[in-house]
Amino acid sequence: MYDLFVIEINNAADKHIPFIKFCNKPVENFIPKQYWNPQLSKIVAQRRLALTAFRRNPTPENLTSLEKLTKESQDLIRKEKFLNWQKFCNSIDEATSASDLWRRMRWMKGFRQNKMYCSSKNQSELLSSLTPDYVTNIMPTFKSRNLTLEADFSMQELKSCLKKKDTAPGEDGISYSMIYHLPDTAQYFMLRLYNNIFKFGIIPTLWRNIQIIPIPKANSASNGEPKLRPISLLSCLAKIFHLLISRRLEWFVEKTKVLSPHTVGFRKSQSCLDSLTRLVSHIQIGFSKNIPTLACFLDIESAYNNVSIDVAMKILDNLQVGTKICTYLWSFLSERYLNIKSDTGETLLSRWTNKGLAQGDPLSPLLFNLVTHKICLCTQNILLSQYADDFVLFVSDKDIKSCEIRLQQALDSVIILLDELGLVLSTSKSNYCLFSKGQRRLFPILKANGQPLPRSDSVKYLGIWLDSNLRWGKHVKETVNKCSKFFNILKVLAGSTWGVHTKHLRRLYISLVRSRLDYGSFIYDCGAKKHTNKLDKIQNQALRITGGFIKSTPIHVMECELNIMPLFLRRQYLAYKFMLKSVSWSNNITVDMVLNLSELCQNRYWVSKKKPLLAETINDIKAFQVYSSHTLRMFSLDIWVSAIEVQENIKSDLVCVPCSKNSFEPNALLNNVIEELNTNYGGWHKFYTDGSKSALGQGVGYFYQNSNIKTGYRINSYVSIMTLELIAIFQAMSYANEQNLNKFVIFSDSKSALQHVARCASGIRGVSIAYDIINIIYKLNKNGIEFRLQWVPAHIGLKGNEEADGISKLAALEGNEFHFLPDYSDLIPKVKMKCNKFWKKYFNEKSETKGIWYKTIQHEPPRYLWFDDGKLSRSYVKLALRLRSGHYPSAKFAFLMKKNDSPNCVTCNKIEDVQHLLMDCVKNKTEREKLERENGLNRLDIGLIQTILSLPKSDLAKQLCGLAVTRNP
């Protein structure tokens, strides 16, 4: 059945999805640009036909038709180029390397890079390293039972795991988008196949065949054949099925607290920064007490590929996950065929493996955490942190010998535990570092399997270089070198007379450069000023390239014009976000360590040093009341959240409102909405909800139309308007549930609130009140209650909606108080406003001595970019930025740069600044007088130029900036 299902999908794809033929000979054949599409081909063909018609019959009508089609084709090509470039910029993130970006740009220009040759010997060695030389398969007996996890999959679970975005498909050639667009009947059939596979543990043959793509490593071919990195291509159907199992296992593991809090890798709302913060804070605590810290960084040889499947399944069976899951996973992992194919699809090499976890499998990270969870639980007398296969053991003590003994004992225990799992510690790649304030002559010696581990003065852990004295010189140097590589890209794209729009250059800077400056920045903020200044120079240089500013432009002016926050404030904002997220977990080790460090910052060690940013930040957020829980709310429900049916219960649109309500005539829209609601919900219990937020207060309310019941609450905490809407929905649902109402509908004018609940049901973390709503939905579905959450347009005159709006506004002033703890995400806008106030203060201080001209135009940092809509040309934006900043390439600038003997205008013999350039110079006198006459301007008015330049998108500002172009043709 499964094979027939795959064949039918491929047959349908062959019939309806056109094949794309890539041309590898760009000199001989035409290669369409990345932005080209059938619509462009059609309009260009019409233009050619119009040109042919005009040549045959040059009449005024044919000329008009040709000119019209020529303009339409040019506009459409320009639009598609812009959209394609915008898509390209949006696809770039912090994971994009400089070489990858150059490759993408070459691809957009039509260049193709020759494929690097890999010999069969090299490929065979790669495949041998991934598979054992012999295999023995004896299926163990599983005894665990778990009726909840072993239940059949539902359509709600399946739909929450489907993806629109494609990745490389497996051997069956079926991609994610093909599965996503299957009709409902095919998806129900696929669900039946999944349940049968899960029930009987029969693995489709195509799932076992995994194609290995050998990718040459960068800069590895200097001494001969390149080293290869294996990329596995699994069947997308298999990965969706494994994601279904992963969602269940994740809920079970988090709810029962199987994993240690020291394991932070591949767990929701935890990241590398948690592990780094714990390690660095512990070292700084030791520095505060004048105690050294000994840390050992472990590297496991091919960790995922060497896990013993039998041991892994035994661990799962002991955790009581159920026989079905254990049987299926053992059957899949114990018999996989790794194949390397030629370009024509012919299998060159193939090996069978029953060892290790599958690369690229959604289940693999979670399974590895479960397999190694005992390492974190059994290690004593030291601290340990785990992120996937990166382990670090660390301990602090005044006596170095005591540190050595305790860490060696823990290391021996870890090696024994790894051996039980079939894993081996790499003694050559593992190392240790002694973190202390001063120089030391005697160092501890650590051994693994009888071999001494190498000692390092600086260690790279999770992307951050840690030097032994935590001065951060090594990390800053590496970051500067990494970011500097992108400057050539920015310079290429920002030509002097042409180039990419400033809006896109800014986005490229944020994606490529600032993202690298941001990573872990609040951890090393307390480093020496000479190091952090180097990072500031990186940003300053990038801002000059992005905005086309000249060298004399003040830094704070460039930051303000491009709406790029200074790095020290950016680090503060990121620290606020991280700590707010951390305090949303009860008994968080990260928070405890930072609090301990904060108390020790009064010690003598920190008197002459900059205190750690997180230690100061946590004192600032103590005043905030934040909702916290031991586990995420999504894992505290009685069942995994993706299994709860919400699609049929949440309706975030109306048939009669397919687009913006502004497109409709008001009375017609109201009548259509009332008619559709009466048709769909005639005879139902109707509730209308709303939330209100103003400077006077916050309130929520609901109106029960059938009984004319009006209820409102005053919210006593700072929350977003979306959260207020969710609170109102929750209160209305709670009332309907208490009254045992059947067939009730709750109308809300907040589409974002309803969509947020639907997203939370797909496994994305949301605000806590959304999970309270999902919990009620689960109970109502379980009891067979029919209900709907329906969106309606706001402020169209719908009586019930207007009643709810009035109730919420009145409740904000005099309603019953409802105590609600805000989620950390609700407080992020608040700390952002706080950082913006710091920025405003910094801007005012800097403007007292520099950028005084700009201060008269822009009195504070803007909230939004004035050129963000992209409607202004790059040349105008660049010119306006220079004129607004007051620094223009004139004689005065040349004099400052010591390229001119005088700052005076050659014609007028007066200082050639922006004021002179636009209002006094005789070279553009004619154009200036014309501008004054047409717009009724008086050039003697004080601040006339500044007033005009403060609105750079206005037509008057464009005409004024044109004087500078006239002055400097």
Angle (deg, nearest 10), helices 309-318 and 364-371: 80
The pLDDT score that the predictor gives to residue 114 is 57
Domain assignment present for residue 21? The answer is: no
Element (H, E) at 507: helix 502-509
Domain termination residue (choose one: 461, 492, 516): 461
pLDDT in tens, 331-346: 999 999 998 887 666 7
Which residues fall within 8 angstroms of residue 715, CB to CB, at 6 or more apart?
Answer: 697, 698, 699, 700, 724, 727, 812, 818, 820
The pLDDT score that the predictor gives to residue 240 is 96
Distances (CA, A) of 792 to 172, 633, 647, 747: 44, 28, 17, 6
Domain termination residue (choose one: 775, 801, 822): 822
pLDDT greater than 60 at residue 94:
no
Taking the C-alpha atoms of residue 408 and residue 430, their distance in angstroms, rounded to an integer, is 14
In degrees, to the nearest 5, what angle opens at C-alpha 302 toward C-alphas 297 and 308?
A: 110
The one-letter amino acid at 679: T
Taking the C-alpha atoms of residue 287 and residue 606, their distance in angstroms, rounded to an integer, is 9
Taking the C-alpha atoms of residue 253 and residue 697, their distance in angstroms, rounded to an integer, is 41
The pLDDT score that the predictor gives to residue 497 is 66
Taking the C-alpha atoms of residue 762 and residue 452, their distance in angstroms, rounded to an integer, is 49
pLDDT greater than 60 at residue 719:
yes
With CA atoms as reference, report the closest residue to 299 among 454, 436, 420: 454
| DSSP-based three-state secondary structure for 131 | coil
Same domain, 650 and 796: yes
Same domain, 597 and 650: no
How long a stretch of residues is the chain? 969
Encoding tokens for residue 543? 């801002």
Within 858-940, residue ranges assigned H as helices are: 874-885, 891-896, 914-915, 925-935
- Burial pattern 534-546, b for ≥16 Cβ within 10 A else e, equals ebeebbbebbbbb
In degrees, to the nearest 5, what angle opens at C-alpha 922 toward C-alphas 920 and 926?
A: 100
Same domain, 683 and 788: yes
pLDDT in tens, 42-59: 899 999 999 999 999 989
465 in Cβ contact with 475 (< 8 Å): yes
With CA atoms as reference, report the closest residue to 211 among 308, 130, 304: 130
pLDDT greater than 70 at residue 887:
yes
Q: What share of the chain is helix, strand, coil (3-state, %, to 5)?
A: 50, 10, 40
Same domain, 206 and 283: yes
pLDDT in tens, 376-417: 888 888 999 999 999 999 999 999 999 999 999 999 999 999
Domain assignment present for residue 75? The answer is: yes
Taking the C-alpha atoms of residue 572 and residue 560, their distance in angstroms, rounded to an integer, is 18
Number of folded domains in the chain?
A: 5
Handedness of CA 185, 189, 192, 198 (dihedral sign): negative
The pLDDT score that the predictor gives to residue 859 is 93
Of the pLDDT bands very low, low, confident and very high (cuts 50, 70, 90), residue 18 is low
The residue ranking higher by pLDDT, 748 or 99, is 748
Residue 594: domain span: 471-623
Taking the C-alpha atoms of residue 639 and residue 777, their distance in angstroms, rounded to an integer, is 12
pLDDT in tens, 681-707: 999 999 999 999 998 899 999 999 999
Taking the C-alpha atoms of residue 255 and residue 253, their distance in angstroms, rounded to an integer, is 6
Beta strands in 605-763 (DSSP E): 650-651, 685-694, 697-704, 709-715, 744-748
Region 955-960: mean pLDDT is 92
Judging by DSSP bridges, how do beta strands 744-748 and 685-694 pair with one another?
parallel
Region 806-811: mean pLDDT is 95
pLDDT greater than 60 at residue 347:
yes
Q: Which of 16-30, 524-538, 584-598, 654-668 has the lowest mean pLDDT?
A: 16-30
Count Cβ atoms within 10 A of the Cβ of residue 586 and give its class: 0-12 exposed, 13-18 middle, 19 or more buried: exposed
Same domain, 599 and 673: no
The residue ranking higher by pLDDT, 811 or 167, is 811
With CA atoms as reference, report the closest residue to 448 among 462, 468, 432: 432
Taking the C-alpha atoms of residue 768 and residue 55, their distance in angstroms, rounded to an integer, is 69
| DSSP-based three-state secondary structure for 522 | coil
Region 648-664: mean pLDDT is 91
Give φ, ψ of 729 to 5 degrees.
Answer: -60, -40
Domain assignment present for residue 4? The answer is: no
Distances (CA, A) of 554 to 326, 442, 490, 887, 893: 64, 50, 20, 9, 13
Q: Indicate the DSSP class of residue 784.
A: T
Residue 56: how many CB atoms within 10 A of its CB? Answer: 9
Of the pLDDT bands very low, low, confident and very high (cuts 50, 70, 90), residue 491 is confident
The pLDDT score that the predictor gives to residue 29 is 53
Domain CATH for 743: 3.30.420.10
The pLDDT score that the predictor gives to residue 897 is 86
Same domain, 600 and 716: no
pLDDT greater than 90 at residue 135:
no
Count Cβ atoms within 10 A of the Cβ of residue 173 and give its class: 0-12 exposed, 13-18 middle, 19 or more buried: middle
Region 724-731: mean pLDDT is 96
pLDDT in tens, 579-618: 999 999 999 999 999 999 999 999 999 998 999 999 999 9
Taking the C-alpha atoms of residue 506 and residue 543, their distance in angstroms, rounded to an integer, is 8
Domain termination residue (choose one: 623, 645, 662): 623
210 in Cβ contact with 232 (< 8 Å): yes
The pLDDT score that the predictor gives to residue 183 is 93
Give φ, ψ of 10 to 5 degrees.
Answer: -65, -35
Same domain, 34 and 173: no
Domain assignment present for residue 924? The answer is: yes
Residue 700: how many CB atoms within 10 A of its CB? Answer: 33
Taking the C-alpha atoms of residue 702 and residue 789, their distance in angstroms, rounded to an integer, is 13
* Average pLDDT for the chain: 89
pLDDT greater than 80 at residue 131:
no
Residue 211: how many CB atoms within 10 A of its CB? Answer: 20
Taking the C-alpha atoms of residue 636 and residue 255, their distance in angstroms, rounded to an integer, is 6
Taking the C-alpha atoms of residue 561 and residue 506, their distance in angstroms, rounded to an integer, is 11
pLDDT greater than 90 at residue 486:
no
The one-letter amino acid at 341: K
Half-sphere exposure (CA, 13 Å, Cβ side) for 879? 24
Domain assignment present for residue 38? The answer is: yes
Taking the C-alpha atoms of residue 64 and residue 69, their distance in angstroms, rounded to an integer, is 9
241 in Cβ contact with 193 (< 8 Å): no
Same domain, 324 and 447: yes
Give φ, ψ of 113 to 5 degrees.
Answer: -95, 135
Within 691-823, residue ranges assigned H as helices are: 721-738, 751-760, 768-782, 799-814
Handedness of CA 447, 448, 451, 455 (dihedral sign): negative
The pLDDT score that the predictor gives to residue 105 is 65
551 in Cβ contact with 595 (< 8 Å): no
The pLDDT score that the predictor gives to residue 187 is 94
Of the pLDDT bands very low, low, confident and very high (cuts 50, 70, 90), residue 969 is very low
Same domain, 676 and 780: yes
SS (H, E, C) 190-257: HHHHHHHHHHHCCCCHHHHEEEEEEEECCCCCCCCCCCEEEEEECCHHHHHHHHHHHHHHHHHHHHCC
Taking the C-alpha atoms of residue 525 and residue 534, their distance in angstroms, rounded to an integer, is 12
Taking the C-alpha atoms of residue 774 and residue 646, their distance in angstroms, rounded to an integer, is 8
Distances (CA, A) of 427 to 387, 638, 939: 19, 45, 77
The residue ranking higher by pLDDT, 969 or 700, is 700
Encoding tokens for residue 67? 């000119």
Domain assignment present for residue 828? The answer is: no
Percent of the chain at pLDDT exceeding 90: 66
pLDDT greater than 80 at residue 820:
yes
pLDDT greater than 70 at residue 219:
no
Same domain, 617 and 638: no
Give φ, ψ of 263 to 5 degrees.
Answer: -90, 115
Same domain, 37 and 64: yes
Same domain, 619 and 637: no
Strand-pairing partners, residue 452, are 447
212 in Cβ contact with 130 (< 8 Å): yes
The pLDDT score that the predictor gives to residue 963 is 87
Of the pLDDT bands very low, low, confident and very high (cuts 50, 70, 90), residue 939 is confident
664 in Cβ contact with 860 (< 8 Å): no
Give φ, ψ of 306 to 5 degrees.
Answer: -110, 5
Of the pLDDT bands very low, low, confident and very high (cuts 50, 70, 90), residue 837 is very high
Domain assignment present for residue 18? The answer is: no
Distances (CA, A) of 604 to 288, 289, 290, 460, 652: 8, 9, 10, 29, 59
Domain assignment present for residue 353? The answer is: yes
